Amino acid sequence: MGTQRLKIKNQLNYRRGYTHKHCSDCDHYLNMPIKGIGGENLGIQPRCKIIGTKPGRMYRVHPENICDAFDGSKKLKMLRPAWLANKND
Ligand code: SF4
């Protein structure tokens, strides 16, 4: 018996990502410390601000997956100065 799938993952068409576009490039992606029910430290785990940041395993997102709410605009903006700098070379 596996972990039950969250309804929101189906609603957002959460699936395997692409080489150039996946959760770890998304502005909603977080690597955050997770605590178990008894307060034990479960380490740093991937979560998504849209899907939810609760400790349960069903809230885990895979860095190489993607969903329809993907937004990489902030990360792209952070890269822009480097591109402009390269243009002036
Ligand atoms: S919004 Fe979608 S693509 Fe972005 S981190 Fe969450 S699950 Fe991944």
Cα separation of 16 and 23, whole Å?
Answer: 10
pTM: 0.84
User: Do residues 6 and 51 lie in contact, with contact meaning Cβ atoms separated by under 8 Å?
Assistant: yes
Of ligand 1's listed atoms, the one at least distance from the Cα of 48 is: 6
pLDDT for 3 equals 73
CATH class of the structural domain 7-87: few secondary structures
pLDDT at 88 over 80: no
pLDDT tens readout for residues 26-52: 999 999 999 998 999 999 999 999 999
Q: Of 21, 32, 30, which is closest to residue 70 (Cα–Cα)?
A: 21
Model pLDDT for residues 72-83, shown as the tens digit of each residue: 998 888 877 766
Segments making up each domain of the chain, as ranges? 7-87
pLDDT of 85 > 70? The answer is: no
Let me know: does 70 contact 21? Beta carbons within 8 Å: yes
The phi-psi region of residue 26 (left if phi > 0; otherwise alpha if psi is between -120 and 50; otherwise beta) is: beta
For ligand 1, mutation pick of 61, 62, 76 (most atoms within 8 Å of CB): 61
